[in-house]
Structure 1
Amino acid sequence: MRAATVPVILALLGTSLLYPAMPWMVRRGVGRGLAAGLTCALLVAAVGGVIALLVNSLVHSAPQIAEALPQAGDRLANWLGPFGEKIRHALDNAKGETSSLVSALTNGVLSGLGLATRIATGGVLALALVFFFLRDGHRTPDAVRSYLPARTAETVVACAERAFEAMAGFMRGTTLIALIDAFFITIGLLLLDVPGAPGLGALVFMGAYIPFVGAFLSGTVAVLVALAEGGLGTALWALGVVLAVQMIEGNVLQPLIQSRTVELHPATIMVAVVAGSGIAGILGALLAVPVCAAGLGVVSVLRGEIGRSRRGGRRGATAGRAPGQEQEPVQE
């Protein structure tokens, strides 16, 4: 079930982000098929570039991170006294786990071919669906109206449009915030002369799509790479850059941008991320918020329909009585 559901949701998210390009190209004489193909090609190039930068940066820095952790632990232990011994012990354990992870990644390439095949298959399916959604999505309302009764069809179309608008708002707002975060953190890492800064910026960009958790994880990786390549001082400066950008995001960008695109309370977002990660891991955390936003959009449409039905029923009951006639009490 997940093999079919996840590509469909990813395709809907991609379509909601890219769909505004379709009217722009169609107005300039580009056919819908060609416009959808060009948009998908741009999507493949962007995603491929981000992944290539990320993999190159992490593969280059992983051994240095494993070597730099115990050195940082020794320095912190000397500075913090008794508390430093606990930090040194934790970093020694982290070194062992990092080395084991690198070894497992190196030795597990063949065993991971099955997973890679499933990911590639899902990606191709999602890309194909994006193409068809972009090319033929404008026909969906008419198709729904041709198969369902008029009143039901209008409700279904309204729910689908509201859910799509909610996903589009999440994708546009999150993408803008991700670009701003990645840009400034990349500039900061370049100024600190941290190798692989573009790849770390790509990681920050990807992490922004997982609220709260993604920013923490991507920032941690950036600080670890700075620690491995430049020492403790560079790592502290990198930490300052990451914290400054995240504070600006949380206090300025999120309220300014997301309040106009996604009407979700922060507590709702946190619960959605935790629930999504518990159900489907990282992918579930990635998809949880847009799916939740779409669901709440559908609920708002249905509430409006129920409210209108109740008001219509009351008006009909009032119109059925003669002027001045009061409603008779119900006999029990």
Structure 2
Amino acid sequence: MPNSLLPEPVRRLAAWCAVVLLATAVLAVGVWLCTVLQTVVTPVLLAVLGTALLGPMHRRLVGMGVNRSLAAALTCLAVVAVVGGASYIVVLALIETGDQIIDALRRAGQMLAEHFGAVGTSLEDITANSKDLLAKFGSTAASGVVAGLSVVGSVLAMVLLAMVLIFFFLRDSDRAVVTLRSVVPSRSGDLMEAMGRRAFEAVEGFMRGTTFVALIDGVLIGVGLLILDVPGALGLAALVFVTAYIPYLGAILSGAVAVLVAFADRGWVIGLWALGLVLLVQMIEGYVLQPVVQSRTVQMHPAVVMLAITAGASVAGILGMLLAVPLTAAVFGVISELRARYAEAEAPPQPADSA
């Protein structure tokens, strides 16, 4: 008498469907908890990314004989100085050149409207009304100053909490393995340690590599726009640097803005030169810089990156777009480690050499 009325392929399919449904349910609950506890989850994720970026500096200080606590404090102070100074430069550049960029985009919309009709008219309407929208937003914010101060206060609190967590993560990073092993079954200790190391290495490589790529992109495009005498070159370079943390999509948006500004203010010839500059920088990034970044992390298909960015934006807006790719890199690192271990376990044993 058969053990089951269902054939073996159907039972396997049902088992896989149950696994997929269970994984989807766990993921949905995890996302829901992250959205509910976002005031706690966001600083933790930012602290993990900051620790991944600052880890080499902390390890170098410790290697020089500096106390771990002092090394963590010096690293945090250094990042506050660097990030604060860079943020000040970026914001100042955007403020000083923002009007020039908006005016250039408005002129670009008018010129496109003359040649392409409705598409250009839509762009012209958006750029022409941008200042009015900003003014309305400002008046709304002024009328609700208490709510605005509350938002600013919560953001500052999250940033401060993230900095404190970075300090503790750096100082106690040597205890991470012991802590991880203490919360998992002893049989799974080695596997969980290997998965954690691979995930953190993927995030670390992504953060360092992306920062390097963003800096190179911003410098090259900024210098090129200065040579072409494009208005708002420093602000556009700052925009390129910031949006480079959103792979693919950020480069497309910032490059398009730079080309439109050059086209509107300097004419077709300079606009084409700006387009060539953006394409050249993208080729350098795609064929030279990105392979270096991905060699330190895991290979991710552009379609996977775009889907991750879209999912992150739907969950947490701009912050989700920034966090989606490094988290996806960590997941791919874990999958890569599991695949390597299972492949090693299933490999046939090698025959011993006879004496």
TM-score (norm 2): 0.77
Q: Tell me, in whole angstroms, the C-alpha distance in 1 between the residues paired with 2:69 and 2:235.
A: 33
1:174 has 2:210 as partner: yes
Aligned residue runs from structure 1 range 211-250, under 5 A: 211-223=247-259, 226=262, 234-250=270-286
- Code of the residue aligned with 1:103 in structure 2: it is A
- Code of the residue aligned with 2:334 in structure 1: it is V
User: What residue is the counterpart of 1:60 in the other structure?
Assistant: 96
The range that moved more, 14-23 or 60-69, is 60-69
1:284 has 2:311 as partner: no
Q: Tell me, in whole angstroms, the C-alpha distance in 1 between the residues paired with 2:85 and 2:268.
A: 30
State the superposition RMSD in angstroms: 2.8
The range that moved more, 172-181 or 257-266, is 257-266
TM-superposed deviation, 1:147: 4.9
TM-superposed deviation, 1:230: 5.3
TM-superposed deviation, 1:12: 0.8
User: What residue is the counterpart of 1:319 in the other structure?
Assistant: none
TM-superposed deviation, 1:5: 1.1
The range that moved more, 109-118 or 42-51, is 109-118
User: What residue is the counterpart of 1:95 in the other structure?
Assistant: 127
Please list every run of 5 or more consecutive structure 1 residues that lacks an aligned counterpart in the other structure. Answer: 316-332
CA contact (8 A) 1:50 1:199 kept: no
Cα distance change, pair 227–57 in 1 and its aligned pair in 2 (3 A): farther
- Code of the residue aligned with 1:289 in structure 2: it is V
Cα distance change, pair 298–88 in 1 and its aligned pair in 2 (3 A): closer
Cα distance change, pair 114–229 in 1 and its aligned pair in 2 (3 A): farther
The range that moved more, 285-294 or 248-257, is 248-257
Q: Tell me, in whole angstroms, the C-alpha distance in 1 between the residues paired with 2:180 and 2:110.
A: 66
Q: Tell me, in whole angstroms, the C-alpha distance in 2 between the residues paired with 1:226 and 1:55.
A: 21
Please list every run of 5 or more consecutive structure 2 residues that lacks an aligned counterpart in the other structure. Answer: 1-36, 350-355
TM-superposed deviation, 1:289: 1.2
Q: Tell me, in whole angstroms, the C-alpha distance in 1 between the residues paired with 2:285 and 2:239.
A: 16
**Structure of greater relative contact order (alpha carbons < 8 Å, 6+ residues apart):** 1
Cα distance change, pair 235–55 in 1 and its aligned pair in 2 (3 A): farther
Cα distance change, pair 43–235 in 1 and its aligned pair in 2 (3 A): farther
TM-superposed deviation, 1:236: 4.6
CA contact (8 A) 1:33 1:135 kept: yes
The range that moved more, 180-189 or 220-229, is 220-229
- Code of the residue aligned with 2:221 in structure 1: it is I
User: What residue is the counterpart of 2:169 in the other structure?
Assistant: 133
Cα distance change, pair 148–88 in 1 and its aligned pair in 2 (3 A): closer
User: What residue is the counterpart of 2:30 in the other structure?
Assistant: none
1:210 has 2:242 as partner: no
Match of 2:129, SS state, is helix
Q: Tell me, in whole angstroms, the C-alpha distance in 1 between the residues paired with 2:185 and 2:246.
A: 39
Please give the per-residue CA displacement for 1:203-227, whole angstroms capped at 9, x wherever unaligned: 2122111111111222234345556
TM-score (norm 1): 0.81
TM-superposed deviation, 1:288: 0.9
CA contact (8 A) 2:104 2:264 kept: yes
CA contact (8 A) 1:177 1:249 kept: yes
TM-superposed deviation, 1:129: 0.9
User: What residue is the counterpart of 1:263 in the other structure?
Assistant: 299
Cα distance change, pair 170–233 in 1 and its aligned pair in 2 (3 A): same
Cα distance change, pair 267–76 in 1 and its aligned pair in 2 (3 A): closer
- Code of the residue aligned with 1:257 in structure 2: it is V
Q: Percent identity?
A: 49
Cα distance change, pair 171–308 in 1 and its aligned pair in 2 (3 A): same
User: What residue is the counterpart of 2:70 in the other structure?
Assistant: 34
Cα distance change, pair 309–73 in 1 and its aligned pair in 2 (3 A): closer
Q: Structure 2 residue aligned with 1:272, among 287, 308, 313?
A: 308
Please give the per-residue CA displacement for 1:183-202, whole angstroms capped at 9, x wherever unaligned: 10111122233455334323
CA contact (8 A) 1:64 1:228 kept: no
Cα distance change, pair 214–71 in 1 and its aligned pair in 2 (3 A): closer
Cα distance change, pair 293–131 in 1 and its aligned pair in 2 (3 A): same
Please give the per-residue CA displacement for 1:44-89, whole angstroms capped at 9, x wherever unaligned: 22222232222222223333344444433444455x3xx3x33442
Q: Tell me, in whole angstroms, the C-alpha distance in 1 between the residues paired with 2:43 and 2:175.
A: 21
- The number of residues matched between the two structures is 309
Match of 1:193, SS state, is coil
Cα distance change, pair 104–248 in 1 and its aligned pair in 2 (3 A): farther
User: What residue is the counterpart of 2:32 in the other structure?
Assistant: none
The range that moved more, 117-126 or 146-155, is 146-155
- Code of the residue aligned with 2:275 in structure 1: it is L
Aligned residue runs from structure 1 range 309-324, under 5 A: none
Q: Structure 2 residue aligned with 1:254, among 261, 265, 290?
A: 290
